[in-house]
C-alpha cells in the first residue's frame, strides 16, 4: 500500500530560531498521528542542521527545498546532495513551480538533480503543474503529462520507490484558490496512468501523489478522500503547527 504523506514547504520563511520552535511544535504534536501518515518539513537550507536536531527522536522527516545539479566544486551559492544528507535530510523537493518560474529550472536540470538526489540516498518530491493560462487553454493534462514524462521517464521502476510526485496547479499556489477535489483527482489519475504506461500498474499504484495549492484544514479532508490523492505538499498552512497537523489528521 502506498504511503500517505503531508509535507510542509516553508519556502523562504522563518529565522533559524523561529524554524526550530516550529519544528519542535510539529514534532511534539505529530505524536498523535496515525502510523500510516508520514510528516515531512522542508525548511530553508540555513535551518537544516538545527531543525534536524529539533526533530531527533520524532517521526517527522526532513526535506530540502532544492539541491544543486552538480555533485560538488566551484558552483558558488549552490548546495550539493551530500551536504543535504550530512545535514540530516532524507528528502528533497525538486521542480517547485517557483523554482521553474523564477530560477529557470528546466526538466533537463531536474533529471540531473533527481539522479544526484537518488544516488545520495535522498527521496525526491517532484513537483508538476500547469499555470493559469495553460489551464484556461484546456492544456492542463498535456502539460502535467509532459512534465512527468520529461523527468521521470529517465528513471527505473526501482528508482520510483524513492520518488513522490506533487501535483501543484500554479494558479492555486499561495492564491487561496484550491483546485476542486474533482479537478485534482482527474490530474492525479492521469499521472498514475502515465506512470503505468512506463513502469507498469504496480509501480503506478505504489507511487505517492500529493496535491499542493492552498491546501488547508478546511479543504484537506475532501481532497484526501479522493482515490488518487495520497496527501499534500503544504505551503502557507505549514507555517502554523496546528494547521499543519490538522491537515495531516484529515485522512
Q: Segment near ligand PEP (CB under 6 A), from 45-53, 54-62, 155-163, 208-216?
A: 208-216
Q: Is 223 in the site for ligand PEP (CB under 6 A)?
A: no
| Strand bridging mode 209-211 / 61-64 | unpaired
Query: Which candidate in 140, 168, 185, 188 is catalytic?
Result: 168
Q: Is 103 in the site for ligand PEP (CB under 6 A)?
A: no
Judged by CB under 6 A, the chain residues 2 through 41 that form the site for ligand PEP are 9
Q: Is 47 labeled as catalytic in the residue annotation?
A: no
- Contact with ligand PEP (CB under 6 A) among 213, 219, 229, 230: 213
Judged by CB under 6 A, the chain residues 139 through 178 that form the site for ligand PEP are 168, 173-174
Determine the residue with CB nearest ligand PEP.
235
Residue closer to ligand PEP (CB basis): 110 or 203: 110
Q: Is 96 labeled as catalytic in the residue annotation?
A: yes
Q: Is 214 in the site for ligand PEP (CB under 6 A)?
A: yes
- DSSP H helices, 30-131, are 48-55, 81-87, 97-102, 107-119
85: left (phi over 0), alpha (psi -120 to 50) or beta: alpha
Q: Segment near ligand PEP (CB under 6 A), from 17-25, 116-124, 184-192, 206-214?
A: 206-214
- DSSP for 153-190, please give it: TTS-HHHHTTEEEEE--GGGTTSS-PPPHHHHHHHHHH
Instruction: Find the shortest distance in angstroms from Cβ 176 to ligand PEP.
Output: 8
The CA distance from 125 to 229, in Å, is: 14
Cell numbers representing residue 152 in the block: 521521470
Q: Is 95 in the site for ligand PEP (CB under 6 A)?
A: no
Q: What is the DSSP letter of 216?
A: -
Q: What are phi and psi of 35, to 5 degrees?
A: -65, -25
Q: What are phi and psi of 236, to 5 degrees?
A: -45, -45
Q: Which residues are tagged catalytic?
A: 96, 168
**Rule CB under 6 A: which residues touch ligand PEP?**
9, 168, 173-174, 212-215, 233-237
Amino acid at each position: 500500500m502506498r504511503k500517505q504523506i503531508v509535507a510542509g514547504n516553508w519556502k523562504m520563511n522563518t529565522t533559524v530560531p523561529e524554524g526550530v520552535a516550529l519544528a519542535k511544535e510539529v514534532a511534539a504534536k505529530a505524536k498523535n498521528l496515525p502510523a500510516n501518515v508520514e510528516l515531512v518539513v522542508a525548511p530553508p537550507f540555513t535551518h537544516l542542521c538545527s531543525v534536524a536536531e529539533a526533530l531527533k527522536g520524532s517521526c517527522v522527516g526532513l526535506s530540502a527545498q532544492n539541491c544543486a545539479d552538480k555533485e560538488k566544486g566551484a558552483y558558488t551559492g549552490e548546495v550539493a546532495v551530500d551536504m543535504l544528507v550530512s545535514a540530516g535530510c532524507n528528502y528533497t523537493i525538486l521542480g517547485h513551480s517557483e523554482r521553474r518560474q523564477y530560477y529557470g529550472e528546466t526538466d533537463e536540470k531536474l533529471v540531473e538533480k533527481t539522479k544526484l538526489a537518488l544516488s545520495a540516498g535522498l527521496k525526491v518530491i517532484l513537483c508538476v503543474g500547469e499555470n493559469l493560462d495553460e489551464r484556461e487553454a484546456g492544456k492542463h493534462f498535456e502539460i502535467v503529462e509532459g512534465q512527468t514524462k520529461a523527468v521521470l521517464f529517465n528513471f527505473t521502476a526501482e528508482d520510483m520507490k524513492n520518488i513522490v510526485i506533487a501535483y501543484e496547479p500554479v494558479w492555486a499556489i499561495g492564491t487561496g484558490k484550491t483546485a476542486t477535489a474533482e479537478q485534482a483527482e482527474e490530474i492525479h489519475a492521469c499521472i498514475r496512468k502515465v506512470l503505468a504506461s512506463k513502469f507498469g500498474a504496480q509501480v503506478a499504484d505504489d507511487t505517492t501523489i500529493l496535491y499542493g495549492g492552498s491546501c488547508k484544514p478546511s479543504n484537506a479532508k475532501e481532497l484526501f478522500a479522493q482515490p488518487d490523492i495520497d496527501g499534500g505538499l503544504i505551503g502557507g498552512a505549514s507555517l502554523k503547527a496546528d494547521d499543519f497537523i490538522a491537515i495531516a489528521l484529515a485522512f
